[in-house]
Amino acid sequence: MSLNESWRQRSLAAVWHPCTQMKLHAPEGAALPLVPVARAEGVWLHDHEGRRYLDAISSWWVNLFGHNHPGIRAALKDQLDQLDHVMLAGFTHGPVVELSERLATLTGLGHAFYGSDGASATEIALKMSAHHWRNAGRARKNRFVGVAGGYHGETVGALAVTDIALFREAYAPLVRLGATVPSPDARAATPGESAADVAERAATALADWLEAHHEDTAALIVEPLIQCAAGMAMHDPHYLRRARELCDRYDVHLVLDEIAVGFGRTGSLFAHEQAGIRADFLCLSKGLTGGTLPLSVVLTTDAVYAAFYDDQVARGFLHSHSYTGNPLACRAALATLDLFEQTDALRRNVATGDRLAALFEPLSQHARVQHARRQGMVFAWDVASSLPDFGRRYARHALEQGLVLRPIGRTLYAMPPYVINEEEGAFLARGALAALQATLAEEDGSAAKVEGARDGV
Ligand SMILES: *Cc1c(COP(=O)(O)O)cnc(C)c1O
């Protein structure tokens, strides 16, 4: 048996893979092959037998500067020689202090609370918001409102504001559902309407909702500029400015979930900078460690912090995770911030993004592609396909092209590491188009077969 096949079989026997119907990996069906990865470098994932795949979605949106980056690797090795981990209650250490200081300088939010995953950041922000209002004598403000199609993680608390039926339905009885207001998704524009018009329309709906419900509402949670899990739904920054105004008017916290869009994906270090606003709570994870280790953080204001600062223990934020503020993860985050400075990454990404957009032009112009769109280093295309399993079929063809691309429904997207070079970009663009052609050929083939069958009748 080949090494790849051996790891595949052992994994399928022992590992329950995330967000996966395991039967789709079953050897009989093999609708989706499981890919064993031996090592990774730059934009490439290598299997055990000399095949490599370009990681065009940055391993679920976490990687920024390529895999196995020497700068981050060196920082981690150095940290490992000094301090592996210490609990953050009653103790502190250099990496967590420095990271908190640097994030405060970058965001204007001076208090950092750490978790391990994106979903735990969502939980922290929601709990902190409601507890803030309770401490302020307004305990009635304990409900949340999110945006249609929003995604904020999949733990039970986060599912309250994650508006994706497939992820939520089975757990509906467990979830204290939040409300949803219309999305500012620019694809909803009617002829003659601009993205800013759609944003204004969505903001008006938000205003109406808050007018009716603000007395019970602790916070609005928004993914700035791109609702990634909704299918790279992009919106005009006007929506964020209006959301900020409305939250101020109605005494509702604004939680900005930049878990996916933070750290340069949208062109600015943080997406909300493009609207010139500040959050009450800012959730970060994914790119925070450059894609090396799990770490999340919620940054908040002096005003929120002050509402917990008290002689009574119970008025404090009594929330914890065992690995809160892990020194290794914080060092990886510091090394990642260093890379932004050392490589002038945001400016370089403008050129990289423009080059990629030009390479993607044939895909964007494809007759079956709608809403070709881009925000910074995120590219997306909606494919007119009637295949119910378009995404899965496309992903399989992409692997055959040496690419990791996993469409969300019928939305194909690319979110490559920032270090992708010209040649790799061309490889990606060519393969993405070839995989599309192969997928559509299957669809047209099966349509032709149905036609043929009818002819036979
Ligand atoms: C991925 C993601 C989360 C959840 O993060 P996990 O680390 O997967 O728990 C939350 N919000 C957004 C916008 C995300 O993209």
What is the pLDDT averaged over residues 147-169?
A: 96
* Ligand 1 site, residue 151, Cβ cutoff 6 A: yes
Copy the structure tokens of residue 383. 């494919």
Q: What is the pLDDT of residue 457?
A: 36
Residue 457 CA to ligand 1 centre (angstroms) = 51
Residue 118 CA to ligand 1 centre (angstroms) = 4
Q: What is the pLDDT of residue 450?
A: 53
**Closest protein CA for atom 8 of ligand 1:** 118
**Closest protein CA for atom 15 of ligand 1:** 260
* Ligand 1 site, residue 264, Cβ cutoff 6 A: no
Q: In this prediction, what percent of the chain has a pLDDT beyond 90?
A: 95
Q: In this prediction, what percent of the chain has a pLDDT beyond 70?
A: 97
Q: How confident is the model at residue 444 (pLDDT cuts 50, 70, 90)?
A: confident
Summarised one tens digit per residue, pLDDT across range 9-67 is 999 999 999 999 999 998 766 788 899 999 999 999 999 999 999 999 999 999 999 99
* Ligand 1 site, residue 163, Cβ cutoff 6 A: no
Question: Domains in the chain, start-ordered, CATH in brackets?
Answer: 37-68+344-456 (3.90.1150.10), 70-343 (3.40.640.10)
* Ligand 1 site, residue 234, Cβ cutoff 6 A: no
Rounded distance between C-alpha atoms, residue 42 and residue 60, angstroms: 15
Rounded distance between C-alpha atoms, residue 184 and residue 188, angstroms: 8
Residue 110 CA to ligand 1 centre (angstroms) = 23
* Ligand 1 site, residue 285, Cβ cutoff 6 A: yes
Copy the structure tokens of residue 168. 């939520």
* Ligand 1 site, residue 284, Cβ cutoff 6 A: no
Copy the structure tokens of residue 107. 């965001």
CB-CB contact of 153 with 168 (8 Å) = no
Encode burial over 292-306: b for 16+ CB neighbours within 10 A, e otherwise: bbbbbbbbbbeebbe
* Ligand 1 site, residue 152, Cβ cutoff 6 A: yes
What is the pLDDT averaged over residues 259-268?
A: 98
* Ligand 1 site, residue 254, Cβ cutoff 6 A: no
* Ligand 1 site, residue 259, Cβ cutoff 6 A: yes
Average pLDDT, the chain: 96
| Dihedral angle computed from the Cα positions of residues 76, 77, 79 and 80, in that order, rounded to the nearest 10 degrees | 110
Does pLDDT of 415 surpass 70?
yes
Residue 448 CA to ligand 1 centre (angstroms) = 41
For the chain, the farthest-separated pair of C-alpha atoms sits apart, in whole angstroms, at 83
**Closest protein CA for atom 10 of ligand 1:** 152
Residue 60 CA to ligand 1 centre (angstroms) = 9
pTM above 0.95, yes or no: yes
Q: Which residue has the tokens 């994030």?
A: 103
* Ligand 1 site, residue 153, Cβ cutoff 6 A: yes
Summarised one tens digit per residue, pLDDT across range 293-332 is 999 999 999 999 999 999 999 999 999 999 999 999 999 9
State the burial class of residue 86 (Cβ atoms within 10 Å of its Cβ: 0-12, 13-18, 19+).
Answer: middle
Mutate to test the pocket of ligand 1, among 270, 286, 408, 413 (most ligand atoms within 8 A of CB): 286
Does pLDDT of 354 surpass 70?
yes
* Ligand 1 site, residue 162, Cβ cutoff 6 A: no
CB-CB contact of 158 with 142 (8 Å) = no
CB-CB contact of 113 with 120 (8 Å) = no
